Structure 1
Amino acid sequence: MDIQGLVRQIACHWLLVGFSAIITYFVGSAIYNVYFSPLAKYPGPFFAKVSGIPSFYHALTGHRHVWIWQCHQIYGDVFRFQPNGIMVNSPTGYQSIYGTKANVKKGKFYEVFPRNKHSRNTLNTVDRVIHAHKRRVLNAVFSETALRSAETFIISHVDRWVELLVEDNEPEVWTEPKDISPLINWLFFDILGDLCFGRSFESKEKQENPLKSIPHTTTMFFKGVYPFTKSPILQLWVWLKPRGLDFVLNRIKPAASKQYGQFVMDSVMQRTKQEQKLQKERAEGAEVRTDMFHYLFQAKDPKTGGPAYTPIELFSEASLLIIAGTDTSAVVLCAFFFYITRNPRAYRRLTKEIRETFGNLDEIKSGPKLSSCRYLSACIDEALRMCPPLPSELPREVLSGGLVIDGQQIPQGVNVGTSGWSLMHHDEVYGDPWVYRPERWIADEASGVTTEDVTRAQRAFYPFSAGVGNCAGKNLAMKELLLATARTLFMVDVKAPPAPDNLLGAGSSELGWGSRSKSHFVIEDAYLGTKDGPMLQLKRRTI
């Protein structure tokens, strides 16, 4: 035999050995995961027990939250969604995982998002001590004082937004059908700009504006990154990030992402210069506005006494505020308008409450009158329940000592979570979870809703998460939603247009189990909920 033939024979032999070793490894892993893993007793889809591919696939489709709900329908309140992960769907289980004293930490999921090791923000910080410090600063950003000063700006933007919606129409004349989704994105984006950077981005105005694309860019970013956070190579991805992957990803980043990064950096630099100027004015006794960025800029490191944030960390926190302050509130307001315009009884009761409570537009502001609008709050809560802004689970990893969930001991290292969308569509908790019924939040003998019914519903209601990882901006979000809905429905009437224009955002038979009904607003899961529609028609009221 010649040398070349011998080399080929040896190469083929070792290729066969390598291939056999790979097959053996995967077969062995599958057997272990199915029969010998500490999680072997938990039910779930067979391929989810042996691989993370099913979870990854459904993340790619944007309907992973629906898949999780489907699995709970089949396997019960606890199922195995990946070889080392279980999903829990009970109010008590939720508290065990996300409660303040839960023996867990944030999962590897969060380590995918930072563009490098220096650019961590409050959301993607895994270390609990560092996160606690960042969170204390963020709590100051959303303090009661800060929220009171924000209201004037929220009202100004909402009123201008409504004016733009109907400015081309005479009173009592319906507008042409319009997709409200991008218009709502621009409303909250402009509010965020004013509250965080001291200037409106003017994206809601009708003239061309390059900043109009920013909300869409952030949505596309999450749609692109989210599947990797649910992939079988998550651990490898996180390991590679500081070892060259971050550098590669930064070099191949799409132009839209680069433009977004430059936009945030420019906004931070401009606001930093403004804050330095305002500091001098405050020192001289002048009354100047203190917005979100002021608290970030003024935060101190408890160890050194110096600034708590480096410039790149300021960039990261600002980026978080832009995304969290726009996308989350926008999906809820879209859901609200979808459901309220498709439920005439609820629409009539809500508009009657608003228009009889307030004598004029100037009265619609935070205070006793707005707080007395119980049905308005119930309508918003019901939209939050039907379409939570974070539809899938917030991943947690069990720490040393394990975790007890509904009587089951979960060992260290297991990934656990609860899908907000599944929990808030739980049949045993809500009875009719697919029905938009604001009355479920108000105890009333006439409607047959008892105090126990309301308490049971509230125990499973976590649209802003819970514990140390809950949404710092939830009070601001609720203020925005209350003012936006009340002032809009005081000034204009809204309705769903006739078919086929009324189908945008609605379910369809092609979407399958859990998304078939045309009376349901469909969101996609990209960590944040994303949406299209609904289509609305509006007409100005004669007040």
Structure 2
Amino acid sequence: MTILEMLVSNAGPAILAGFAACVCLLVYRVVYLALYHPFAKYPGPVLARFTNLYGAYHAWKGDIHLDMHRCHLKYDIYGHGAPVRKFPGYQALSSHAANTLTMSDKVQHALRRRVLSQAFSESSLRMLEPAIRSRVDRFFTDLAFDLMTAVTFDMDYDTIQEPRFRYVVEAIEASNIRLGVLIQASGLSFRGLDKLLFPDSAKAAARFVKFLRRLLHERLQREKTDGRDIFSFLQRCKDPDTGNGLSPRDISSETATFIVAGSDTTSTTLASLAHYLTGSSRCYRRAAEEVRTTFASVDEIHFGPKLNSCIFLRACLDEAMRITPPGGASLWREVEHQGAVIDGDFVPAGYEVGCSIYAMHRSPKNWEDADRFFPERWIERSKMTVGQRQPYFPFNIGPRSCVGKPLALAEVMLTFARLLWEFDFRRAHDDEMWWAADDVDQAEYVLKDHVTGQKEGPLLCFRPRI
């Protein structure tokens, strides 16, 4: 007797009817997704037609940006005036108060951004500069975390010298694995399934939240006006039109985002720029000469016109972020009620659309010799009109672009100007005279994409300039 015959003989009519209904619904769903869904006409992986778990799997592996680049046979990006809004799936990144990263409502986001942008103005950056300069001799992952806790909360955890709090950086990276999967398949959060699937990541998130609550509690004990940090600034600043400020809950949510986004992405950019500079003797020599001829002493290296005049160093930074963006996967947006026309095709309301930053930056349709680290292209690009320029948006574009972009760029420029002025450095396995050799094709600095990039290396040797 076959299994089907056993089911028929032992099951009641109601069970059989229910089973048949489930099979019919499944067949209907598969046929609809394969042939009649609004996105059915677009090419792509077969499995991705039927389940968001395809994206969740690659988010878990950390290669979702690479897979999007491989699959990017047809793509376009909405302008910020298009009828789309922030994809609700990003709410997985903030379980309490919404912040500028997770808000779907455009009006609320615009009001919040107007307040926050005051904290990253030219005058505000000068206020934060002493905290950055005093820590600029610390490197990469720990440096970026120490910088963000310093400028956001005026607290020094000194994770390069003191190992006690290094677990926080590790906890951020580990917790992002689960969050990256939830952005691709938010249904996995049903009844806490995500915590069962990713227990280590969930525990890491709990450790980070515990640390953050402690940090916020300590910072809230201070008077509003006694600190020269972003937290104090947000306590004081008001919307210029409405006069409204931010609630303590809003400030806590925003500053928590600054710590995660600011430290993670900045450390990735520091590491990738170090990788590409030490992989190109030509670029290293030119960047070092530019810095060492621009500044007469290390005391001159600070925010301002001289640092901004290091055009080639900035070109190297832009090129590193083009080839290896800190967050390379799609930034999903939900189409609003009127639908949207993207690249000539109508997309109904309620569907998610996005464009992979990594794929856009590495497309040969957009960039000549797209896989090559060639900073000189940025010097030519600066002479182009906006309409002539190739697409480049490591900080996103439009009203949803990163509000902390000026701070991030200033931190990296200041750090590398100081490093190039004070040290000669190389990869650990290279000869001391590597910089005198001819350039060779270098490997990409490969990241794992878990909301933001996770990295290994580079391992460098430093020696003071003679």
Instruction: With the length of structure 1 as denominator, give the TM-score of the two structures.
Output: 0.76
For 2:71, the equivalent position in structure 1 comes to 71
Structure 1 residues 245 and 295: CA distance shift in structure 2, 3 A: farther
Structure 1 residues 210 and 111: CA distance shift in structure 2, 3 A: same
For 1:214, the equivalent position in structure 2 comes to 168
Separation in structure 2 between the aligned mates of residue 304 and residue 10 of structure 1, nearest angstrom: 70
- Deviation at 1:50? 2.3
Residue 427 of structure 1 aligns to a residue whose secondary structure is coil
Contact 1:141 1:293 in 2 (8 A): no
- Deviation at 1:416? 0.6
For 2:436, the equivalent position in structure 1 comes to none
Structure 1 residues 347 and 252: CA distance shift in structure 2, 3 A: closer
For 1:197, the equivalent position in structure 2 comes to 153
Contact 2:114 2:239 in 1 (8 A): no
Counterpart of 1:420 (choices 343, 348, 357) is 357
- 1:406-429 deviation line (CA, Å, top 9, x unaligned): 222222222110110000001022
Separation in structure 2 between the aligned mates of residue 522 and residue 252 of structure 1, nearest angstrom: 24
Residue 275 of structure 1 aligns to a residue whose secondary structure is coil
Counterpart of 2:100 (choices 97, 119, 122) is 122
| Residues 1:321 and 2:258 are matched in the alignment | yes
For 1:148, the equivalent position in structure 2 comes to 126
| Residues 1:376 and 2:330 are matched in the alignment | no
Contact 1:195 1:292 in 2 (8 A): yes
Separation in structure 1 between the aligned mates of residue 388 and residue 375 of structure 2, nearest angstrom: 11
Residue 41 of structure 2 aligns to a residue whose secondary structure is coil
- Deviation at 1:526? 0.6
For 1:488, the equivalent position in structure 2 comes to 419
Separation in structure 2 between the aligned mates of residue 472 and residue 306 of structure 1, nearest angstrom: 19
Which residues of structure 1 form unaligned runs of 5+? 1-6, 79-87, 162-182, 279-287, 444-448, 500-516
For 2:434, the equivalent position in structure 1 comes to none
Structure 1 residues 365 and 304: CA distance shift in structure 2, 3 A: closer
- 1:497-537 deviation line (CA, Å, top 9, x unaligned): 228xxxxxxxxxxxxxxxxx961110011111111111111
Structure 1 residues 263 and 356: CA distance shift in structure 2, 3 A: same
- Deviation at 1:130? 2.3
- Deviation at 1:15? 4.0
For 1:263, the equivalent position in structure 2 comes to 211
Contact 1:268 1:318 in 2 (8 A): no
For 1:335, the equivalent position in structure 2 comes to 272
Q: Quick one: which amino acid aligns to residue 333 of structure 2?
A: R
Structure 1 residues 254 and 54: CA distance shift in structure 2, 3 A: closer
Counterpart of 1:356 (choices 277, 293, 299) is 293
Residue 135 of structure 2 aligns to a residue whose secondary structure is helix
Which residues of structure 2 form unaligned runs of 5+? 1-6, 431-440
Structure 1 residues 62 and 236: CA distance shift in structure 2, 3 A: closer
Separation in structure 2 between the aligned mates of residue 455 and residue 432 of structure 1, nearest angstrom: 21
For 1:61, the equivalent position in structure 2 comes to 61
Contact 1:153 1:195 in 2 (8 A): yes
For 2:437, the equivalent position in structure 1 comes to none
| Residues 1:409 and 2:346 are matched in the alignment | yes
Separation in structure 2 between the aligned mates of residue 13 and residue 518 of structure 1, nearest angstrom: 67
Q: Quick one: which amino acid aligns to residue 497 of structure 1?
A: A
| Residues 1:132 and 2:132 are matched in the alignment | no
Structure 1 residues 374 and 257: CA distance shift in structure 2, 3 A: same
Residue 529 of structure 1 aligns to a residue whose secondary structure is strand
Residue 538 of structure 1 aligns to a residue whose secondary structure is strand
Contact 1:299 1:309 in 2 (8 A): no
Q: Quick one: which amino acid aligns to residue 455 of structure 2?
A: K
Contact 1:268 1:314 in 2 (8 A): no
Counterpart of 1:100 (choices 80, 83, 95) is 80
For 1:505, the equivalent position in structure 2 comes to none
| Residues 1:36 and 2:36 are matched in the alignment | yes
- 1:455-509 deviation line (CA, Å, top 9, x unaligned): 678431101001111100000001001101111111111111228xxxxxxxxxx
Contact 1:187 1:204 in 2 (8 A): yes
Residue 159 of structure 2 aligns to a residue whose secondary structure is coil
Contact 1:108 1:235 in 2 (8 A): no
Contact 1:429 1:456 in 2 (8 A): no
Structure 1 residues 246 and 220: CA distance shift in structure 2, 3 A: closer
Structure 1 residues 358 and 431: CA distance shift in structure 2, 3 A: same
Structure 1 residues 10 and 309: CA distance shift in structure 2, 3 A: farther
- Deviation at 1:376? 0.6
Q: Quick one: which amino acid aligns to residue 408 of structure 1?
A: D
- Deviation at 1:235? 4.6
Residue 17 of structure 1 aligns to a residue whose secondary structure is helix
Separation in structure 2 between the aligned mates of residue 450 and residue 269 of structure 1, nearest angstrom: 45
- Deviation at 1:100? 3.3
Report sequence identity in percent.
Answer: 33
Q: Quick one: which amino acid aligns to residue 522 of structure 1?
A: V
Residue 442 of structure 1 aligns to a residue whose secondary structure is helix
For 2:3, the equivalent position in structure 1 comes to none
Residue 362 of structure 2 aligns to a residue whose secondary structure is coil
Residue 495 of structure 1 aligns to a residue whose secondary structure is strand
Contact 2:140 2:270 in 1 (8 A): yes
For 2:184, the equivalent position in structure 1 comes to 230
| Residues 1:272 and 2:272 are matched in the alignment | no
- Deviation at 1:307? 5.6
- How many residues get paired? 451
For 2:395, the equivalent position in structure 1 comes to 464
- Deviation at 1:538? 1.2
- Deviation at 1:430? 1.1
Aligned CA RMSD, in angstroms, stands at: 3.0
Q: Quick one: which amino acid aligns to residue 57 of structure 2?
A: Y
